[in-house]
Amino acid sequence: MSDDDDDDRRIELEDRRRALEEAFFPKEGERLRERLHLEHEQRTATQALGSASGIADGPLLARLASLGIRAETLAALTLIPLVEVAWADSEMDPRERAAVLRGAESCGVGPDTPSHRLLEIWTEDRPASELLDSWKRYIRALCAELSADERRRLEERILGGARAVAKAAGGFLGFAAVSKEEEALLEELGKAFGR
């Protein structure tokens, strides 16, 4: 069988699918079909956001998806604070580096992804300050679209990971400590959420 035959069969199958949908969804049911399509897109986008960020809060993910937030954007929102907190004292401790990379992997950013490779670079060489400035501007704009409860939940998720990185290198006798520089940066990051 030739490629042309395969193409013809696929076209015929697509035509038959459309005819079946039109028979099942008469013209007055067009709105229902559109709603089902949008609900499917919403579920798909919400699942992608959860995978990219490690956030399990379904209503928050659904709200972010409804605002057009893409998985790549949410991954950046989650990971940039990890890197910045690790560099807050101008040094990247090996334990902080490991915590940043673990945090990335918990957000679905696996070792074989371009985002993970970029994080590896950022744990060796501090990213430009414009990255943090862009992050803060984006968070402020995003938070203007969220309810107070949604902002709080997003902040808890994002800054919780950053605080874990801050605690990774500190501590004495098993007590995790956060440096003054890291605490100041965590406070600055929190202000971007409107507190």
pLDDT of res. 33? 67
Per residue in 109-154, pLDDT (tens digit) is: 788 877 788 889 999 999 998 999 999 999 999 999 999 999 999 9
pLDDT of res. 52? 67
Per residue in 22-66, pLDDT (tens digit) is: 766 665 566 766 777 777 777 887 787 777 666 778 888 888 888
pLDDT surpassing 60 at residue 101: yes
pLDDT of res. 192? 95
Torsion of CA 38, 40, 43, 45, to 10 degrees: -70
pLDDT of res. 28? 55
Higher pLDDT, 13 or 21: 13
- Cβ(91)–Cβ(123) below 8 Å: no
Per residue in 157-183, pLDDT (tens digit) is: 889 888 888 888 664 444 557 888 999
Amino acid at 135: W
Where along the chain do its domains lie? 3-61, 69-192
